[in-house]
Chain A
């Protein structure tokens, strides 16, 4: 029987020859990932489970990213709890401040997720790793604890949705615009419980950075996972990141899809999602000029070096509007270092931007750029829910690094092709 790449990964991890959608199975997990905000509760649960050890000290990653460097005493205590747990149980992949990054930037960078693997992470954007051809999904803290103990968990085999992109990518349009446009077409529950497979010549031509951005926001359609079949770009990405062997899997020709979409993106404009849903996305030309107080460029969605380069090229030799605060957040220490090497950091600073250490920070309204009463933000992050990024009356618009950089200069949401 023909199967999708997702179904094949589940077979590989459950000793089955064939699985079909909606079946409930137990599957082995290659990596269990937790962060400073979700792991402490998992550790509390782990202790209540009376477990004596974790299933494999090499297959757990604990990442300081959400509230670090500690934003307050409570946050400091959460990190402390995770640090203590990592030491006590000998967790090999514990990432301390200064050697860390936003988990979804860091984990692939470190070669901790590989094609064909099965990953769970206590963060909803764990679906990001689908970009390397892995099945990877978000769970809560109790599931994180259970997975750390058992090395396996239960899964419902998701139905697969195939989205094919054709045409050629227009000027000033990138991965973020593709996924925001897709969300506007399928809606925030358009892929509920499903695996989205992103295919077509457009995806094939995209670099890994844009592929991560696209898979990152599969969850915003309610998807369990997003996935892109690995190819030579994937292999190139891992060339200097791992010596481990991995399996390249692909969907069979007659694999069954629950739904199929095809989008020609040749005329796609840069997109902007208006409050309060990421699916409220419109071409930038249809957005009324909105005055903005703050721009954030970064996050697990758009905090990779390529994203920052795109923004820096627009900002080079220009200044951030006097009424705007531009906050740039590299996704990891590796990205930060590349920013410095390539003079991008200098471009940002000269333009009037501030550069933060890697953190989720303002994306979840934790720290490093919270919005005040009635303020408006333009963020390259992934969610614009009510109150997520600051005061409940504040508003956030979502976009890619092109629109963000151009708008930081003009002081209102604007078209990067016209600046």
Chain B
């Protein structure tokens, strides 16, 4: 179960604005996190409390393939991103580092910054408690579900390497 405050932003938030290339000479979460979204909202990191939810419009995470972007978001304390739609590389990157992300237009439309949000991954719903509205979130396809259950792509690949080793024995 995830609970936290919503922080809402607009459409087409690109990975350059999530974490500018000038900081991408590092891939360490503690070095990236303090600069998350700073060109869009210099106070973003200060506003976020551990566990909060990022709520955004269309095409979130467009642009560069830099994985530093979801890492910075995770490092800033965000536990889940809900958008109207995601850019596909960002989508894969978030899944791979086990940052939960969901697409739900209606939820984004009714949610404002400061609303209290509850996400239940097991029961498959997302709720805006402030507005008193609950939405179903669709389950991930099997492959993606397996990656999430392995705690991200590292666990998923490790499992495959292990299976290969065993089959050779």
Contacts and interface: CB of A to CB of B under 8 A. Distances in A.
Interface in B1-27: 11-12, 14, 16-17, 20-22, 24-27
Contacts of A325: none
A49 interface: yes
A364 B24 CA distance: 10
B139 interface: no
B131 to A, nearest CB: 26
A38 B58 CA distance: 25
A166 to B, nearest CB: 29
A141 interface: yes
A48 interface: yes
Nearest to B11: A189
Interface string B52-95: 00000011001111111000000000000000010111001100
* Chain A interface size range: 35 or more
Contacts of A156: 141
B40 interface: yes
A150 B96 CA distance: 15
A388 B66 contact: no
B39 to A, nearest CB: 4
B157 interface: yes
A141 B27 contact: yes
Contact of B22 (A48, A51, A143, A366): A366
A146 B143 CA distance: 14
Interface stretch (A67-75, A229-237, A406-414): A67-75
Given A154-B143, A189-B59, A40 B27 contact: yes
Contact of A387 (B20, B97, B157): B20
Given A74-B25, A124-B64, A140-B67, A146 B156 contact: yes
A164 interface: no
Interface string A39-81: 0110011001111000000000000000100001011001000
Contacts, number: 131
A24 B12 contact: no
A307 B156 CA distance: 44
Contacts of B27: 40-41, 44, 141
A122 interface: yes
Interface in B116-152: 141-144, 152
Contacts of B58: 189
A24 B21 contact: no
B153 interface: yes
A107 interface: no
A48 B150 CA distance: 14
Contacts of B11: 189
Contacts of A143: 92-93, 96, 153
A189 B68 CA distance: 22
B159 to A, nearest CB: 10
A67 B21 CA distance: 10
A22 to B, nearest CB: 9
B161 interface: yes
Contacts of B62: 188-189, 222
B168 interface: no
A6 B59 CA distance: 23
Contacts of A78: 25
Interface string A272-285: 00000100000000
A74 B26 contact: yes
B166 interface: no
B89 A124 contact: yes
A119 interface: no
Nearest to A365: B21
Contact of B67 (A38, A154, A189, A222): A38
Interface of B: 11-12, 14, 16-17, 20-22, 24-27, 39-40, 58-59, 62-68, 85, 87-89, 92-93, 96-97, 141-144, 152-154, 156-158, 160-161
25 contacts: A24-B142, A44-B27, A45-B154, A48-B154, A51-B157, A138-B65, A138-B89, A139-B92, A140-B67, A140-B92, A141-B67, A150-B157, A188-B12, A189-B11, A189-B58, A192-B87, A193-B88, A222-B87, A222-B88, A277-B12, A364-B64, A383-B63, A387-B17, A388-B14, A388-B20
Q: Which are the 9 A-B pairs with shortest beta-carbon distances? A: A74-B25, A140-B93, A140-B67, A41-B27, A189-B59, A142-B96, A387-B39, A364-B21, A124-B65
